A = this chain, B = another copy of it.
Amino acid sequence: MITLKSYLRGEWVEGQGEGKILVDPTTGEPVAKTSTEGFDFGAAVKFARDVGGPAPREMTFAERGAVLKQLSKAIHANRDALIDASILNAGTPRSDAKFDIDGASGTLAYYAGLGKKLGEAKWLTEESEQLMQGARFHGRHLCVPLRGVAVHINAFNFPAWGLAEKAAVALLAGVPVISKPATATALTTFRLMEVLVETGALPAGSLQVICGSVGDLLSHLGEQDVMAFTGSADTGLKLRGLDNVLARSTRVNVEADSLNAAVLCEDVKDDTYQMFLRDVLKEVTQKTGQKCTATRRVFVPASMIDRVQDDLKERFDQLVVGNPAHKDVRMGPLATEQQLRDFRAGIEKLIGAGATVVYGSATEVELTDADPSKGYFVGPMILRADDPGNADAVHEHEVFGPATTLMPYENADDAVEWVARGGGGLVASVYGDDRELLSKLVLGLAPFHGRILMGSKKIADQAIPPGLVLPSCVHGGPGRAGGGEELGGERGLMFYMQRCAVQGDRALIDKLFVTED
């Protein structure tokens, strides 16, 4: 059993004491331990600010992008070892592990490309505007990197991508990072960080990683620092409400619970219908349903619900669940025992709200090459709630596993209203070929979502499923989803920058602060 180290102040360090045990969710066996006891987190914050910040700020976007490119390449070169770590500690079949790890290298590569495009500048400049009658007196907004540290707190489900997607944006903006993976699946993050450190590409202090508890880290955050969190709404609430965070206006970005919905339009057929089925299957079962973007609610026209239910069952029947290391297996266990408990309790909650289980079971599942008494296994489940207007928990309680609830609707207004009862989500998907209906649904749902996938026949063969987060589109959602916004290409940089309107002599502003390409 290995002991994970944290990477702080340019060194690999081990905490004191017993530490926490990380297990293999397929067998429940311990695979690693880690501790952060005795670490001086205040010193880590100071190191980030004093050592980690100045170097990236002095680099151009192109130079920062070149660093990201090296990191991306190194991850890709060590892909197999990272996949092994993910299978072992996260219970992911190879395809799910790749989703996480290729997502990490891909996002770094995307931001490397953006850095190249932004070129020789060190900060962003917006358009110049004349402010008064005098033609010389102009205003120009500069977006400059903050002088603090970005603390990233990630969820257990993406031990590689979580670190990489947040770090890529912060580092490209010119802000140093302290990243904390969820302890339960930190083995993959630890291995990833070994790879990144090994490149020698990271400027000193620009990236620190804490494998384990963050201790008093957050109490050190101030006016120029930011915190980005992905995880449960409860934890997000606690972090956002920290005294110093509130008092010092520390910027906070939260990605939390999300009752993502798919809406099938009336009269959908052929390619669009197949796309819908394919996406639902993927978004219920990929990573054993442990994605913040997984589809938790499926709204279909009342006239089609029985057929949809049958078609989904047929597809779910073909899914092989079991040991993620086995070549035939497509879905592994949940990541932890706690997740298993929460999943089962969640299903009970949905049932209490009027949903019935129409496929699968929260307690029994047929496994390939795995012992159900040891690992944290569940099979895919379909629930059905025939009265969506009276099923609060179905709209409000996120069951973080391979389950979704089918619901009938009669008209588009009802569908929009019920989807909106999720209180704000990361992504919704709508499938149809009737333009008027698509327009009504998308415009009705847009205020409540950070992203909407609009499935239709002409892109049925080239679209991605709704759960895939692309670096070019924003990721986040209002309300229950946390009210945050990450990624989205250049948009994502702003969280790490201060926009400052510089007013003065136009020629002088341009000369001093605008970098010619």
Contact = CB atoms under 8 A, between A and B. Distances in A.
Nearest to A475: B501
Contacts of A327: none
Interface string A56-74: 0000000000000000000
A218 interface: no
A462 B502 contact: no
B509 A454 contact: yes
Tally of this chain's copies: 2
Contacts of A456: 504-505, 508
Interface in A407-424: 423-424
Contacts of A470: 131, 139
A463 to B, nearest CB: 5
A137, A423, A446, A501, most chain B CB atoms within 10 A:
A501
Interface in A346-372: none
Contacts of A478: 146, 223-224, 249, 498
Given A254-B249, A504-B459, A129 B472 contact: yes
Interface in A460-480: 461-464, 470, 472-474, 478-480
B134 A447 contact: no
B502 A454 contact: yes
Given A450-B499, A501-B452, A134 B461 contact: yes
Contacts of A438: 508, 512
A251 interface: yes
A134 B464 CA distance: 10
B451 A503 contact: yes
Q: Which one of A222, A251, A443, A511 has the highest number of Cβ atoms from chain B below 10 Å of its Cβ?
A: A443
A136 interface: yes
Given A241-B246, A448-B498, A483 B134 contact: no
A439 interface: yes
Given A144-B447, A499-B450, A435 B136 contact: no
Contacts of A141: 473-474, 488, 491
Nearest to A138: B459
Contact of A144 (B147, B443, B508, B513): B443
A145 interface: yes
Interface in A106-154: 123, 129, 131-134, 136-137, 139, 141-142, 144-147
Highest count of chain B CB atoms <10 Å: which of A447, A498, A500: A500
A247 interface: yes
A427 B511 CA distance: 22
Given A132-B462, A443-B144, A454 B504 contact: yes
B136 A458 contact: yes
16 contacts: A129-B472, A129-B489, A132-B463, A141-B473, A141-B488, A224-B478, A248-B423, A439-B512, A442-B513, A450-B499, A451-B502, A454-B504, A458-B505, A464-B503, A474-B501, A488-B501
A-B pairs with lowest CB-CB distance, top 10? A223-B479, A134-B462, A249-B483, A454-B504, A473-B501, A446-B500, A451-B501, A439-B512, A144-B446, A459-B505
